[in-house]
Every structure is written in C-alpha cells, then in structure tokens.
Structure 1
Amino acid sequence: MVKAVVLGAAGGIGQPLSLLLKLNEVVTELALYDIVNSPGVAADLSHINTPAKVTGYLPPPKDGSKNAPNEGLKNALTNAHLVVIPAGVPRKPGMTRDDLFKINAGIVRDLATGIAQYSPDAYVLVISNPVNSTVPIIAEVLKKHGVFNPKRVFGVTTLDIVRASTFTSSVSGADPRKVRVPVVGGHSGVTIIPLLSQISPPHSYTQDEIELLTQRIQFGGDEVVKAKDGAGSATLSMAQAGARFASSILNATVKGESGIIEPSYVCLDADSVGGKQVKNVVNELDYFSSNIELGKNGVEKIHPLGNISEYEKNLLDAAIPELKANISKGISFVADGSKL
C-alpha cells in the first residue's frame, strides 16, 4: 500500500494536483485534507477508474458542536508514504512571496506539527510559498519533535525547471520535453538561478537572450498573476510540476528506480559530501536547490553546481543574501512563535 496525502487539496493547486496523483499508478490510497470542501473533491475523484482509493478529511468544527470529534488531519496523515503541501493563500497582483509569509507560515507550521505526530517517516514535498522559508519552518518543527530527516523534506522548485525548458525552447526551437536546464538557488525572484550554460541538449544564446530568459524564468510567476487579473497565481502549471516531482519520489522510493535527478530545495545536510561541496560555494547556507539524485531513502546525493559562467556567478552572489534572510526568517518564526 502506498498512501499519498495532499494537504490543501481543495485549493487551486490542490485539486489538479490531487487529480494527477489519482492517475499515478503507484498510489493505492489518496487522502485529501483541507479546511473546506475536501470530501467533495474526494467524492469527485473517486469516480475516476484507477485503483487508488480516495478519502477526504476536514478539521474539527470550530463551534465544537454536535458532530462527532473529527480527527481529520490525523486520519489523513496516518501511514502516509508521501505528503504534498500546497496549502496556503495564493499570490495576488502586487504581492510578493515574502508578503505571503505572514499568512502561510502559520498554516505550514501547524501542518508540520501534524506530520511530526502522525507521519514522521513520510516524504514531505513543500509547495506552499514562500518555499525558501516554509521548508526551514517544516524542518524546525520536525526537529522540535525529534523526527527531522533531511533526506525526506523537499522544497518543490520543479515549476522553475518546467518554465526554463519551455522558455528556452521558444528561442532555440528545441522540443521543450527534451530540454533540461539546471535551475539552482531558491524559489523566488533573484534566488532562482537558471544555469543556461549547462542546458541539455547544448545551445548557444547571445548575452541579451541569456539576460532576457533569466529574467523571464525568475519572474515567470508574475506573468500568470497579471494575466489572471487578481483571480490567482500559477495553479495548473504548479500542479503539473508538483505531480512530476511526486512521481519522481515515488519511482525512486517505491519502485526502486535509480539515476533519477531532479533539482529541489533541500537541507544541504542531507548529503554530507555533496552538500558540503555546495555549502562551500554558497557561503555556508543550510538550504539550497541543486540537482538532487533520488534513492530509496529520499536524497541519495546532492550534486555540485559544476562549472558556471561569470554571469551565473553574479546571479549567485545576488541570490545568497536573499536566501540567507529567507532561511533565517523561517527558522526564527518557529523559534519565536510556535506553540508545539
């Protein structure tokens, strides 16, 4: 039995993500949790003719009324193999990912507490923004409960990879399905560092093209926020990206496939050798996105950044202070305000 859990399953990302996980042949049980509507989403998905059993859960009624005690989060998380967290409010026009912190940090902290209590061995995939801060929040909560395993907590940066493939292909004419661009750093603005010098298959861009592509990859989310005109942020593309990364985790940890490499924002302590190599380059940051080789226990190996261009070195220099502040903010949130 392979149980996957989506926390925030009724939202703009959660619903299409849950649909894609229902279609994943590795998943035999899919548990959906949200503060509203998750039983309805589960009922809808349960009509799809794939083997995965789908259940939906809610938190207890706020008025503490007539209904029997509801242990929705506990029931959703118990025996989970994989937990994906898209919970939180979306970005709106003019809102930065940092603006989201005040709202989403508390949501993520509370969900992390549930994970620590009911599914401490699960693989945790964090989509809730700002990822640069929410991943450290989850790690700190798990540490407080003595169950943190850096090999099993991942910030999902896959949308940056997907965008990089799409945007670069629009210039080169390559098939975007076959293009891979390592995107390192973090998951917001200038912390997103596309290594176009390492694109595969190789392609040469002019410096002007490199700068325009880099800007578009870093701020691609703004295109969607603007186009939706206040109605939300990137949900469908994020759901696809989250499902792609979840599939990679399942293929490595359940099916035993080897050689799976996906960039992800992780604690660099997950690999004492590769993580240390990256730390030496990124001014001893504790969290950073790099190419991660996945194995049966999660993070198998953190790959070094490799040879990067002078332009990419400048991008890295600009990203490090921002990442340091983001990480510190997440850690401080748990240290100063969490009631665990």
Structure 2
Amino acid sequence: MEYLSNDKLLIVGAGGMIGSNMVQSALMLGLTPNICLYDIYEPGVHGVFDEIQQCAFAGANVTYTVNPEEAFTGAKYIISSGGAPRKDGMTREDLLKGNCQIAAEFGDNIKKYCPEVEHVVVIFNPADVTALTALIHSGLKPNQLTSLAALDSTRLQQALALEFGVQQDKVTGAHTYGGHGEQMAVFASQVKVDGKPLSEMGLSAERWEEIKHHTVQGGSNIIKLRGRSSFQSPAYNAVKMIEAAMGGEKFTLPAGCYVNCDKCGFKNVMMAMPSTIDKTGVHFVEPAGTEEEMASLAKSYEHLCKMRDEIVELGIVPPVAEWKEMNPNL
C-alpha cells in the first residue's frame, strides 16, 4: 500500500470511539503506516490496537502505549480526542474545567517530548478553549495547531441538502464561524444550493431559524438518537484536517484557529474562520457576511472571550499579557 507520508502520527485518546475511528480512517486513507495509539486506559487502547492489527492493513506499523514519553517522542503529526466525553444534558462549555486541565498537560507533553511536531489537531470539547490551552502550553506557532470546527458546517450543509432534496455536495458556502458551541454564528449569505443562492430558494425566515437551531443542537441530536456523542463524523473530519497538513488534499472547511487580528477585531482566541489547511499550516481570512451575521459572530467572539477569561481565572493558562512567557510564538 502506498502512503502519503512515513512520519509518525500520534492519536491521543485512541482507546475511545472517536480515537479508534481516527486510526482506521487514517489507515484507510493511506496517510502513514506509522501510527501510535496513546490512551491512559490500557485495556481500551490495547483492544483498539488488536482490532486494527486484525484489519491487516498492508505495511502498517501500528503501536500502542500508555506512556506519554513513548507516545509523543518523534511525533510529527498529532490528533487528540483525549478529553472527557459529552453526555446527555451537558453543553460543551460544561466540560471546560476538566478538559482544559487535560489540554494543558497535552500541550506540556508536546513541548517536552516533540517540539518539532508539524501540526496538531485538537477535537475534544469545548474545542475552542481546549485548543487555545494546548497552544499556549505547547509553545507551537499559531499556524501549527487547529481545532475541529467543520462539523458544524457539515451539519448545516446536511440540513439544507435534506430541505431541498439535493445531493449534499451540491450545497456550498454553508459555514458556521466563531465558537464551536451553542454560540456559533451560522451564515446564510454565501450559501448556494446547486448553484442557486439560498436567498432565491424560497426558504421562509421561520424555517431558516429551525434549520439554524437544528445545526446548533447537532451534537445533542446525535446523543438523543444514538445514546452517545458523535464519533464517526468528528473522527473523519479530523483525519482530513491532518491529511491536509501532511501535504494531501487541502482542507477548506472552517477550522478553529488562533486569531489575533486587529483588522478583524478579534484578539487572542481560538475560533472558526474561513480557512485553509495545507502543508504550510492553517491560514484564515476575514469572514464576509451580512450585518446581522457579523453581529452574531461578534456575539460568539464575546462568548469565547468569557470562556478564555474563565480558564485564566482557574489558573489553567496565565493572563493574556503573560502568554508570550509560556509561548514566545504568541
């Protein structure tokens, strides 16, 4: 089997459903034969290792460990789903304190064991602040670390495709920006359905509000239907993000990235933006939208600032003015 790269890919949280799906997706897409599975729960990660070995991927060199030094050393690419799962009745923000402490340790392990890593994708919730925490602690450059945000956009795309009875890839420009949570900003002005602007599709304001609500509650809907949080869709999207960073197909759905932009008016947060991930990292541009959409984005940004300030108050990250002491690249 021909692989895109021979570099070491580390999957953190590999013993869970998202992690195990990421391992399988990475091998099926032929990203690299050299994949390390890391988890703190040995029976779980051991079981995933056995299952992957029993798939018999040609040329695969899969290993597993519960030792962070062994896991992180030599890793060139990392995807982490290593946080606590979201349960029924919980918002992403409910997970903030515990998962940000996990993210701080994750970033410390990167700085200690693999400072030469090329790209990191963080997908455990609340992803905006766990990724920000990991970035501050890791010492990486902002373009080297992204968080999963595309899932909100693909949920919006799916809802519109079902609404108009078209193939999902016929819906373009269906994007959400800002936070990966209940305060996300859902944009309609750039959407086209089979090439036709959404504004010309006869969608009522009431129905659009219902679609927006369904998009925002997409994660909760999966929990209600399946009895557990999403795992296939976040796993696949995360692997496609790391594939792009490895030099494969560019990833053009919104990614959560570090934004400190005077022109945009957004400072010192991780947030979903119009972005591209390629071999050189993640790059974003300023969103374009209606006055109402931009106001919604500003509101989402304010919410992200509050969550950021909360983890500062908890002592998980230092005050913004001191970030450069921990990470000179910020």
Q: Residue 153 of structure 1 aligns to which amino acid in structure 2?
A: L
Residue deviations 1:225-274 (CA, integer Å, cap 9, x gap): 22234xx2112222222223222322xxx34x6x64231111124xxxxx
Counterpart Cα distance in 1 of 2:269 and 2:124 = 19
Q: How has the CA–CA distance of structure 1 residues 55 and 100 changed in structure 2, closer, same or farther, with 3 Å as cutoff? A: same
Displacement after TM superposition at 1:141 (Å): 0.9
- Quick one: percent identity of the two aligned structures? 23
Q: Which residue of the partner structure matches residue 45 of structure 2?
A: 38
Matched, 1:326 2:307: yes
Question: Structure 1 residue runs of 4+, over 3 Å off?
Answer: 330-333
Alignment of 1:53 with 2:35, yes or no, is: no
CA drift of 1:12 comes to: 2.1
Gaps of at least 5 residues in structure 1 are: 59-71, 270-274
The alignment's C-alpha RMSD in Å is 2.2
Of residues 242, 246, 263, the one that matches 1:277 is: 263
Deviations 1:89-146 (A, max 9, x none): 211122121221232122222122111111223211010111121112112212xxxx
Instruction: Map residues 291-330 of structure 1 onto 2, 5 A cutoff.
Output: 291-299=274-282, 301-306=283-288, 308-330=289-311
Where does the alignment leave 5 or more consecutive residues of structure 2 unmatched? 1-5, 320-325
SS in 2 for 1:137: helix
* Separation of aligned partners in 2, 1:324 and 1:103: 18
Farther-moved stretch of structure 1 (200-209 vs 132-141): 200-209
Q: Deviations over 1:287-308 (max 9, x none)?
A: 3211112332202x311112x1
Q: In the TM superposition, what whole-angstrom CA distance separates every residue of 1:34-85 from its partner, at most 9, and x where no partner exists?
A: 0122133122212332433111111xxxxxxxxxxxxx21222222121001
> What's the secondary structure of 2:22's corresponding residue?
helix
Change (3 A) 1:214 1:99: same
Q: Secondary structure at the match of 1:98?
A: helix
Within 5 A, what are the aligned runs for 1:61-72? 72=67
| Matched residue count | 303
The answer on 1:264 being equivalent to 2:264 is no
Instruction: Confirm or deny that 1:240 pairs with 2:240.
Output: no
Q: 2:217 aligns with which of 216, 219, 222?
A: 219
Q: Distance in 2 between matches of 1:169 and 1:203?
A: 11
- Normalising to structure 1: TM-score of the pair? 0.82
Give the Cα–Cα distance (whole angstroms) in 1 for the partners of residues 312 and 46 of structure 2. 34
Q: Hey, what does 1:157 align to over in structure 2?
A: 149
SS of 1:39 mapped into structure 2: helix
**Quick check: 1:3 aligned with 2:8?**
yes
Q: Which amino acid aligns with 1:262?
A: L
